[in-house]
Amino acid sequence: MNQAARAQRGKPTIRDVASAAGVSAATVSRVINHAAGASPSIRTRVRAVAAELGYQPSSTARALATGRTRTIEMIVTDSCTSGWIGAHPHYGRVLAGVMSALEGTGTQLRIHALTPDRAAAAIDALAADATVGALLANVTPELATRYYLRCRRVISLVPTAPAVPALEVDNLGAVRTAVSHLHRIGRRRIAAIHGPVTNSCAAQRRDGYRNAITDLGLPELGADGGFCRDGGHDAARELLERHPEIDAMFVACDLMAAGAIQAITATGLRVPEDVAVIGFDDSLAAICTNPPLSTMRLPVEQMAADATRILMDGDPGFGFRRFYPVDLVLRESAPERGPAHTLRAPR
């Protein structure tokens, strides 16, 4: 017998329960799985014995026998340096959504942060496990496709390859909403702080800004912030140096917007009187800034919970799509009718 496996002894197995209850293992299995084919009297006896022995079924053995692991994989591509999963409040909301959908289902959640160098091999290994499915929180279209080719039970929370099932939001429309709002409250020099070019969401928001600003006949004023606070801070400072006339900023994520607000006030300008700011996400960062941040709210928990349920329901189908709204949440950094916009002399 295997030594390691023997070490696990002491824990009662289904056979221990069976013999103690004077029935077969098959019957115990039927009872603990609430399956048909066991008389009420035996059911109660088996349950009593199981409880007395402190029997806990082995999910591993069960998984091997059924060919199915009751696990959802959440996968995020993590560039080792920035440590996204910890450094970005977005994932907290994803996690919350998944956990709420999983509650009471007996399904477990595994988290995988893929570093670029190991990503392909990791995807192959993950797709081989017969899990409930994979939730791609921030995976490139290429890797998403790679997973999909090996296992269909997968769904992406970001824009991805056509074949791969995904939940989508109208990033372009959302940015238009944000920029239009800034325009409506009288701003005419609306800059943008963009996310990383490699990120598909960031790319869409960048395009959205360009479309909106062009349609309004306003000048395009953009800088890159890399989806992190420091990037947002530096981008805002740079923008204000180069273009002191800026009176509003659209920032592609709240974390960058927090940095931007700090940079703006550090130059002596006021938010929103001198520079109005609209962020994106409605993450924790949005309620920590001062003033609180107006932002485009992504229904992240809802999306994550839906994605989880869709996976539990089976293969979503080739190219599955579901769309979600993005709503403008007005707080003080860009209010509906706040303090009048103060015209200021060029510095």
Please choose which of DNA, a second copy, none residue 108 contacts, taking the beta carbon within 5 to 8 angstroms, the exact cut-off set by kind: a second copy
| 35 CB-side CA count, 13 A | 8
- 3-state SS class at 67: coil
* Spatial distance between the Cα atoms of 190 and 278, rounded to a whole number of angstroms: 10
Query: Judged by CB, which is closer to DNA: 35, or 80?
Result: 35
Task: Give the one residue of 27, 107, 138, 333 binding DNA; rule: CB under 7 A.
Answer: 27
Q: Which does 81 bind (CB under 5 to 8 A by kind): a second copy, DNA, none?
A: none
Q: What share of the chain is helix, strand, coil (3-state, %, to 5)?
A: 45, 20, 40
Fill in the per-residue mask, 210 to 249: x = in contact with DNA (CB under 7 A), - = not in contact. ----------------------------------------
**CA angle at residue 74 from 72 to 112, to 5 degrees?**
115
Return the residue of 14, 113, 169, 257 that touches DNA, per CB under 7 A. 14
Please state, in angstroms and rounded to a whole number, the distance separating the CA atoms of residues 313 and 59.
Answer: 20
Indicate whether 3 belongs to the interface with DNA (CB under 7 A).
yes
Question: Which of 30, 88, 93, 112 contacts DNA by CB under 7 A?
Answer: 30
- Whole-number Cα distances in Å, 221 to 102, 173, 271, 327, 342: 44, 19, 18, 24, 20
Considering CB distances under 5 to 8 angstroms, the limit depending on partner class, which of a second copy, DNA, none binds residue 296?
none
Q: Are strands 294-297 and 327-329 parallel, antiparallel or unpaired?
A: antiparallel
Task: Specify the stretch interacting with DNA by CB under 7 A; choose among 36-44, 111-119, 248-256, 302-310.
Answer: 36-44
Report the SS3 class of residue 54.
coil
Beta strands across the sheet bearing 248-251: 221-224, 190-194, 248-251, 276-281, 294-297, 327-329
Which residue of 48, 51, 65, 80 would you call a contact of DNA, by CB under 7 A? 65
Pick from DNA, a second copy, none: which does 32 bind, CB < 5 to 8 A by kind?
Answer: DNA
Surface-to-core class of residue 253, CB atoms within 10 Å of its CB (0-12 exposed, 13-18 middle, 19+ buried):
buried
171-184 vs 200-215: helix crossing angle, rounded to 10: 40
Binding window for DNA (CB under 7 A); candidates: 6-14, 194-202, 274-282, 335-343? 6-14
**CB of 122 vs DNA, minimal distance in Å:** 17
Helix or strand or coil: residue 13?
coil
Residues engaged in binding a second copy (CB under 8 A): 2, 4-8, 11, 54, 56, 58-61, 63-69, 71, 78, 80, 83, 85-89, 91-97, 99-100, 103-104, 108-113, 115, 118, 124-125, 127-130, 229, 255, 258-259, 261-262, 265, 284-285, 287-292, 301
Q: Closest distance between a second copy and the C-beta of residue 183, in Å?
A: 25
At 321 the three-state DSSP class reads strand
Residues at the contact surface with DNA, assessed by CB under 7 A = 1-6, 8-9, 11, 13-15, 22-27, 29-30, 32-33, 35-39, 41-42, 55-58, 61-62, 64-67
